Amino acid sequence: MAIDFDPDLIGALRKARKITVLTGAGVSAESGIPTFRDALTGLWQNFDAAALATPDAFRRDPALVWGWYEWRRMRALAAQPNAAHVAIARLAGRAGHLNLFTQNVDDLHERAGSPDVRHLHGSLHHPRCSGCARPFSLPAAAPVEPEGGRRLAPPSCPACGGAVRPGVVWFNESLPEDILAQAFASCTSSDLLIVVGTSGTVYPVAQLPDVARRAGCPVVQVNPAASELDRACTWNLRGSAAHILPALIGRA
């Protein structure tokens, strides 16, 4: 059924010469990838994602953490981009200038055709040595992880023998400075910020909608539920990304 959007939002979208898009786990939910809020199953059912996403967790139990990320990497490889990823890629082709920043570590934006995806929290697909930081190339044919996951000893770096770690930003690790600076600069110089599928609970990324608003950039959020970002947003579109985004971007 047709969605009627606030005419001011459609006007802002059509007039926008520069658009920033910020996505979180919710944009991949309809591709079957669980969000951070989703309860975990299998081997991980007694953990929460945040407890596994720290340098300490990896130091304490590298096989548990490497197994967790390999399981997630398989899920990402087996998933397909959904209509939200495709709509965002299409907007990149239409808007004058679009910067896409994601908190997600999957590659679904890339596989949907978005030309320039900036990962604020790293990527599942670019592991590196925890000792010498050399990039580690994973075997092309991804091993099939059991449904419930498994512990898996991380590979050793061929150069120094260090344990290979996922190429993601863990809690209490710094974000890539250049990408974070680009995100702040983009949010303060855009005509519209579109925020999709994030609970707005993790900093410093959660500051971005507020920063945009203060710089005079209107913010539209797409999320089926209320989030920490609601009060910072000009428009809160309650609905799923794969349903709302194609309709909204179709009006651009």
Catalytic positions are 121
Stretch that binds ligand BV8, among 14-22, 23-31, 90-98, 139-147 (CB under 6 A): 23-31
Which entry of Zn ion, ligand BV8, none binds 109, CB below 5 to 8 A by partner kind?
none
Which entry of Zn ion, ligand BV8, none binds 132, CB below 5 to 8 A by partner kind?
Zn ion
Judged by CB under 6 A, the residue of 2, 39, 174, 178 near ligand BV8 is 174
Which entry of ligand BV8, Zn ion, none binds 137, CB below 5 to 8 A by partner kind?
none
Query: If you write DSSP's letter for every residue of 102-140 in order, what string do you get?
Result: ES--SSHHHHHT-S-EEETTEEEEEEEETTT--B-PPPS
And the tokens for 227? 């989030």
- C-alpha span between 24 and 16 (Å, rounded): 22
Stretch that binds Zn ion, among 43-51, 89-97, 117-125, 128-136 (CB under 5 A): 128-136
Long-range residue pairs from 134-140, CB within 8 A, at least 24 positions apart, any chain: 134/159, 134/160, 135/167, 136/164, 138/73
Nearest distance, CB of residue 191 and ligand BV8, angstroms: 23
Judged by CB under 6 A, the residue of 169, 180, 192, 237 near ligand BV8 is 169
**Interactions with ligand BV8, residue window 218-237 (CB under 6 A):** 222-225, 227
Amino acid at 63: A
- C-alpha span between 170 and 122 (Å, rounded): 9
- C-alpha span between 187 and 218 (Å, rounded): 10
Which entry of Zn ion, ligand BV8, none binds 223, CB below 5 to 8 A by partner kind?
ligand BV8
Nearer to ligand BV8, 113 or 176 (CB): 176
* 167 near Zn ion, rule: CB under 5 A: no
- C-alpha span between 164 and 129 (Å, rounded): 4
Task: Name 117's bridge partners.
Answer: 100
Nearest distance, CB of residue 128 and Zn ion, angstroms: 8
* 160 near Zn ion, rule: CB under 5 A: yes
Distances (CA, A) of 154 to 61, 96, 165, 247: 10, 43, 7, 43
Distances (CA, A) of 83 to 22, 89, 109, 117, 173: 16, 10, 11, 17, 32
Three-class SS of residue 152? coil
Nearer to ligand BV8, 155 or 224 (CB): 224
**Residues at the contact surface with ligand BV8, assessed by CB under 6 A:** 24-26, 29-30, 35-37, 49, 53, 103, 105, 121, 168-175, 197-199, 201-205, 222-225, 227, 240-241
**Residues at the contact surface with Zn ion, assessed by CB under 5 A:** 129, 131-132, 134, 157, 159-160, 162
